[in-house]
Chains A and B, each alone.
Chain A
């Protein structure tokens, strides 16, 4: 059983560009959350998707947007990239209403903005 799959694993973009990151949740999971992890820090919650809608949002600007598809997979889009957006982007899936041990994290996408 595959866990959470994220693509691509690494990405280099130029300031001002746009980027799309992808996540396939663990089988049986219907809720997807995205986190940003800057180097040397803990992950920070970006937003969560369930039933193709954004249900919760962290303190991130509107440049960060997302989407969830009927098969529960999800995309994270970041527009007008800034150098400070360089980070590891983590996707976590869970069954609705479960946290803690219900969360499964992917290995992340390392985004570098130059």
Chain B
């Protein structure tokens, strides 16, 4: 398949270990953040979201942490599996008034080693 991004920051993780992907944002007014997973040859796929009135949200094997003080977002993947190999993006949702358009960060490639 096609490569989504050839020069992205890369996180190599051993299968079964936990992964942590970080993202910084600049707009302190942002109130809704989403993590997406993009596999080669596919479009972004929703993983989990969080609103600014929360510090933490958990899903199935994933946890998102939001630190508004330092404008930092992280995605934790527990017990990383080969199927988790992909590029991960954080995105800010600009709200209904802006048509819920998304502003994406630069992405991190996760490579899971067997």
Contact = CB atoms under 8 A, between A and B. Distances in A.
Given A56-B101, A99-B93, A105 B5 contact: no
Nearest to B97: A56
Contacts of A28: none
A45 B42 contact: no
A103 B42 CA distance: 14
Interface stretch (A11-19, A60-68, A71-79, A106-114): A106-114
B103 interface: yes
Interface residues of A, number: 33
A105 B45 contact: yes
A31 B100 CA distance: 11
Interface string A77-100: 000000000001010101001111
A99 B100 contact: yes
B44 A90 contact: yes
Interface residues of B, number: 31
A100 B32 contact: yes
B7 A40 contact: yes
Contacts of A33: 99, 101
B105 interface: yes
Given A90-B43, A103-B46, A107-B43, A43 B102 contact: yes
A108 B45 CA distance: 12
Contact of B102 (A4, A41, A50, A103): A103
Given A55-B99, A99-B32, A42 B46 contact: no
Interface string B20-57: 00000000000010100000011111100100000000
A48 to B, nearest CB: 5
Contact of B5 (A40, A44, A98): A40
Interface in B1-16: 2-8
Interface of A: 4, 31, 33, 35, 37, 39-45, 48, 50, 55-56, 58, 88, 90, 92, 94, 97-103, 105-108, 110
